[in-house]
Amino acid sequence: QLSHQGVRCTLKHFPGLGRVVADTHLESADLALTPGELASTDWLPFRSLMRRHDIIVMLGHARLTAIDAARPVSFSQPVVNGLLRTDWGYDGLLMTDDFSMGAVTRSPKGIGGGSVEALNAGVDLILVSYDPDQFYLVMHALIGAERAGVLRSETLRQSDQRLARGWSR
């Protein structure tokens, strides 16, 4: 089994992209259904598999407009901390989809502001893969936020615990 060799499965892309029309690689996209509608359909696999402790959940960049019409799920405080961490009680690892994608880089917060908001919302890992030069923008924003006291220390402490637990399995 892959998990015995240290390979982790990633459940993606929350909140589900089956009903999203636009391509978040290029632009912002909306998922305009209510949580009630999604709970009885699209979220069934997420709710079932997120009970496991060896699953990492990848957050997509669609906006879940019924909860937060302004931000992609990947850095939405109401979705990450509100819905997933608080309402669902999910205490496993959350990672973003690639932050090099247009839904993030072209958002009002941009890749830097989105990175700060992602960590403050309770995301554990920010993925930068397609355009490695974006890594520098992310790190610059996060280092600046840390120096300015903007990053939430308790949220980072909880993330450190999840990461330690997640990699030790």
> Could you tell me the two tokens for 152?
């939430």
Structure tokens at 35: 């949580």
Catalytic hit among 13, 61, 68, 97: 97
Does residue 117 sit in helix, strand or coil?
helix
Does 25 qualify as catalytic in the annotation?
yes
Handedness of CA 84, 151, 13, 31 (dihedral sign): positive
Residue 65 contacts by C-beta under 8 Å, 6 or more apart in sequence? 30, 31, 32
For residues 56 and 93, the answer to whether their CB atoms sit within 8 Å is yes
Radius of gyration of the chain (CA): 15
Peptide bond into 15 cis (omega under 30): yes
Q: Which of 25, 30, 91, 131 is catalytic?
A: 25
What are the residue numbers of the active site? 25, 97
